[in-house]
Structure 1
């Protein structure tokens, strides 16, 4: 096997997507692995390398957790690794480790327009920040800004852990129930795959109904007939709209709001788009401001890999690279 340019790996709570950036700069040999099937990054990397005959001396990894320390512990699965150990054990010349939503943020400026569904056309300011948010196993939050040289610079955040707020009576009641169970109810607690199930369970208990063991796909199958699933989907869209507009206002993201993550594609037509948009714009005097922000859903499941490809040449991320001592 001949060494190629770089391997990129987008690791979430459930799936790990690997790909090879070949010598011509194209993304190749994409493989989707189940995180639960491997003890950690090194084992999954070796499996990918063996299965696809891929060898590279550089590895770029996006992970759903903070990345500033040598020890990386993923928030929503059992994987952990030390950056220096990975460099040594895999014989790398460079390991770049970034937050998964840093990769998603770079992806929105790396993929084609065909990769998006437009929720609100708006009027984008081409020099303004972009806000990126995506429910999956957790809730990823990030952004991207243009620097003085015209290069897109990503913003790494842990914004999924902000405190969840309510606006309607139904939302207040739900949060009141959850605060008896959790000392801190974060946005991620509700706006995520597990959050959907938590809200459904809480509504069932509140209404004295039996709690059905449903995954997201099963919820969608009964969404047309089950009133509590319908209320869950309404609450999900409303809470999501609140947090997305909070992020846009905080960042001044008049360049656009981008929805990523694995949950929205799974919801399909059951994602309450109208509720999301109504709540997104329900900020009183800033209704008009928010109405002008373009909102797009990122549909490409491999987008994080394209973001990692761009990350390898992004100067502001060089500080997250580790090389052999």
Structure 2
């Protein structure tokens, strides 16, 4: 390949996207998705992606699901550790490892309007924005407005303590305390934990009758897929689980919007929201989002969009590499 290009990656606990992007325009040249657990480390995956060809990229940037300290990320829901120094040595080019939400935040500016589904029009004002992504885990990011552009500031806000908003959620918290010393938002708003925890709470507390058929599917395919399928079919416990999941998603999104003072907008990323779009639009998310007492009117003014492009973080990683390797 003679065209100058950037190698970008978006590493999650379940799947990883890798892509080559044309340096001048950041147009995708080639992308591929891998099951993360199929590889012992990222370099093995990159070698598989390269195949017989030699990768001669101008820069590489990997967005990774976990905290990044000194260019090293231990993936939160995977056994890998990704090190910028190892990538730099192996690929012989500038290399960066950033948080996956930071990568996602960098990619939003490259999206056409058709890649965004508007949940709330609001009345946008110049200032900060925010990004929240539920997938395998729960990621959060502040998009800080520096007067010229938004700078993605990563966080581990998904691991902050869950706070109930009503008596039922207080009972949900007490239920999970039987299992966990610390109950984070990720335990309730994520694909790995959320659907299962909400479902078993509703079943075990007698709020809804359990379903052997749903549980059998969940054992094979996970509770997210099972709840989604049976909720669409109208099974009461699946509907109740989905409604509670969406409400909790909205509640924490409202918390993030307040903390970030995200007058320019809130973006919902991750793999879950586009898959349950009909449930996200039924009102429960927005009701919980704005239910913040005296700040309800403030939150009603914040535009909310769901990101439909699953390669946003990949685009953002490529954009980050171009800018920080001074290739612009």
- The TM-score with structure 1 as length reference comes to 0.90
CA distance in 2: counterparts of 1:105 and 1:22, whole angstroms: 20
Pairwise mapping of residues 258-269 of structure 1 onto structure 2 (< 5 A)?
258-269=267-278
d(CA) in 2 for partners of 1:156, 1:164: 19
1:272 Cα deviation from its structure 2 partner = 5.7
Is 1:248 matched with 2:257?
A: yes
Partner of 1:295: 304
Q: Distance in 2 between matches of 1:129 and 1:209?
A: 43
* Correspondence for 1:14: 14
Indicate the residue corresponding to 1:221 in structure 2.
Answer: 229
Secondary structure in 2 aligned to 1:20? strand
User: Shift in Å at residue 101 of structure 1?
Assistant: 0.2
For normalisation by structure 2, the TM-score amounts to: 0.90
Alpha-carbon distance change, 119 to 138 in structure 1, aligned in 2, over 3 angstroms? same
Contact in 1 for aligned 2:57/2:93 (Cα 8 Å): no
* Structure-2 separation of matches of 1:279 and 1:225: 22
Change (3 A) 1:97 1:73: same
Alignment partners' CA distance in 1, 2:282 and 2:41:
37
For residues 119-130 of structure 1, the aligned pairs below 5 Å read 119-125=119-125, 127-130=126-129
Aligned residues: 314
Counterpart in 1 of 2:200? Answer: 201
Contiguous gaps of at least 5 residues in structure 2: none
Residues 218-237 of structure 1 deviation map (CA, whole Å, 9 limit, x = unaligned): 22221133211111112111
Q: 1:174 to 1:197 in 2, by over 3 A?
A: same
**What residue in structure 1 maps to residue 84 of structure 2?**
83
Gap regions ≥5 residues in structure 1 = 319-325
- The alpha-carbon deviation at position 189 of structure 1 amounts to 0.7
SS of the counterpart of 2:110? coil
- C-alpha distance in structure 2 between counterparts of 1:265 and 1:128, whole Å: 26
Residue 259 of structure 1 deviates from its aligned partner by 0.3
CA RMSD of aligned residues (A): 2.0
User: Match for residue 106 of structure 1?
Assistant: 106
Partner of 2:186: 188
Find out whether 1:67 has 2:68 as its counterpart.
Answer: yes
User: Is the Cα contact below 8 Å between 2:6 and 2:322 reproduced in 1?
Assistant: no
Give me the whole-angstrom Cα distance separating, in 2, the residues matched to 1:92 and 1:233.
Answer: 47
Equivalent runs, 1:33-182 vs 2, <5 Å: 33-50=34-51, 55-88=56-89, 90-125=90-125, 127-148=126-147, 150-182=148-180
2:280 to 268, 271, 279: 271
For residues 87 and 3 of structure 1, the distance between their equivalents in structure 2, rounded to whole angstroms, comes to 20
Q: In structure 1, the residue corresponding to 2:109 is in which secondary structure? A: coil
